[in-house]
Structure formats: C-alpha cells, structure tokens
Structure 1
C-alpha cells in the first residue's frame, strides 16, 4: 500500500484484499473528515436511512472516530473525525 496524508486529506492506493481485480466497490473507498464524532454518527445514520449498507458502525479505530457505509452503487465511504 502507498499512503500519503496531510491535515486536509489522505490518499492511499492498494491492491484489493480479496485478490480480485479492482472495480467499483472492490478496492476503492472515499473518505470524508466531518469534524466531530456526532457528525460521523449523523452521516452514517443518514446514509443507512437513504438505502446505504453499514460496513462498520461508528466507533474508535486507532486515533480516529469513524464509520463505514456502501452507497447505492456499492462504493465504500468512510466518515471520520
């Protein structure tokens, strides 16, 4: 994996964990720093309410508070604070 991060954003690229070719929803993810744990929980709930799929409930992961969802096109999204 190659990873680069600064205060405003992070970028990483890696092969999918399952060994299958990278495609929409396999090996791709976009993340948003939403500023607070309350906002992480609100965004996660709203995504599920709108038909998204939970890929990781809100909680502490390392130094961040984050939550994961898949949107209606199966893109993986992380909200973190």
Structure 2
C-alpha cells in the first residue's frame, strides 16, 4: 500500500484486499479529516441520503472516529476525526 496523509487529507492506493482487479474504489480510497465525530456522522448520513452506500458505519477505529462510504461511482471515501 502507498499512503499519503496530512492533517486534513489522506490518499491510499493498494492492491485490492479481495484479490479482484483494481478499479475505482477497489484498491483506492480518499479520506478527509473533518474535525469532529459529529461531522463524521453528518457527512456519512448525507452521503447515504444522496445515494452513497455505507461500507463502514461511524465508529472508533484505532485512534480515529471514522465512517466509510462508496459514492455513486463506487469510489471509497472515509471521513475521520
């Protein structure tokens, strides 16, 4: 996996864990540090409301509070605080 991260943004590219060919959202993910767990929950809910798919409900994962969605093009997005 190659992973780039700063305070507000993360980007990762990896060989897909499921062994399937890489494609949008399978082997790539973009992440945003949104500042608070309330904002993680709000953005996750908004993404689902707009047609996204939940691939990880809001919750604690290691030191971060995060939630994962796939957008309408199947790209994987994580919101973290």
- Contact 2:8 2:34 (C-alpha < 8 Å) held by counterparts: no
C-alpha offsets along residues 3-61 of structure 1, whole Å, 9 cap, x if unaligned? 34443433433210111221112111110000000000000000000010000100000
Distance change in 2, residues 1:40/1:18 (3 Å): same
Q: Which runs of 5+ in 1 are unaligned?
A: none
Aligned residues: 81
TM-score by length of 2: 0.88
When the two chains are superposed, the root-mean-square deviation of aligned CA atoms in Å is 1.4
Task: Pick which of 3-12 and 71-80 moved more.
Answer: 3-12
Structure label with greater radius of gyration: 1
Q: Which runs of 5+ in 2 are unaligned?
A: none
